[in-house]
Amino acid sequence: MALLNLERLHSGYGKMEVLHGIDLEVRRGEIVAIIGPNGAGKSTVSNSIVGMADVFSGRITFDGFDITGMPTHKIVDLGIGYTPQLNNVFQSLSVRENLELGLFNLKDDVEGRIKRVLELFPEIRDKAGRPARVLSGGERQMLAVARAIISEPKLLILDEPTAALSPKAAQSLVKKILEIREMGLTILLVEQNVRRALGLADRAYVLVGGKIAYEGDAKKLLGDPLLLERLFFGVNA
């Protein structure tokens, strides 16, 4: 049984439908990547799951619960951690205060949880008392991921985590994502960098025009550049 299921999902914003009947599943313990051209609706998938987009029809189930249309805070309480692409840290708050926000509904083992995520992200450990605005772009992304996993969720959704990062910072973050996966966390990765996403993932979905154009083994797709070209650019081969 999959941890997350999207069934015939039609969703968008206001009266604008972005996703047109997509089916998607994420199984426990795997990394699933969502890739596709700009404007394909990739971020709308993650926004729909966490209650930040309008679901017109279809169903979203997580860990046996129907979460379709559920408020975001209740979805988070069920065990979904989410790192949006933009505005994902509070820059005026300290690193520690940002982490504490990830524990707003948890009172047990607060210090232990903070210690464990700072051990996983030593890059921000020595800056725990400093405001997040002094962090580099890569460090801010690490803080955002650390806050998303501090509550020990069952599923982590990462929306464009390496966007605008330097190659060095992006590679460091990729290593952290793999470490998190080794801890047993299931990951749904929305990523613009196709090769990076396919290199990380077990399975991949290619989204084109709000519809699923491909679903299958990520490494197999990575090794088939002609198929990738057809999916992204509609090239006839």
pLDDT band of 237, cuts 50, 70, 90: very low
Q: Is the dihedral of CA 179, 180, 183, 187 positive or negative?
A: negative
Mean pLDDT of 147-175: 93
Domains of the chain: 4-217 (3.40.50.300)
Q: Which residues of 44-75 are buried (b: 16+ CB within 10 A; e: fewer)?
A: bbbbbbbbebbbeebebbbeeeebbebeeeeb
Does the pLDDT at position 135 exceed 60? yes
Beta-strand pair 65-66/54-62: antiparallel
Mean pLDDT of the chain: 93
At 236 the pLDDT is 39
At 235 the pLDDT is 42
At 133 the pLDDT is 94
Crossing angle between the packed helical segments 137-149 and 110-120, to the nearest 10 degrees: 140
Cβ atoms of residues 232 and 59 within 8 Å: no
- Nearest Cα to Cα of residue 55 among 64, 63, 45: 45
At 86 the pLDDT is 79
| Rounded Cα distance, 131 and 63, in Å | 36
Residue type, 120: L
pLDDT band of 106, cuts 50, 70, 90: low
The pTM of this model reads: 0.93
Does the pLDDT at position 24 exceed 80? yes
Diameter over CA atoms, the chain: 58
Give the residue with greater pLDDT, 112 vs 82: 82
pLDDT cut 90: percent of the chain above it: 85
| Rounded Cα distance, 64 and 80, in Å | 13
Residue type, 2: A
The CA-to-CA distance between both ends of the chain, in Å, stands at: 37
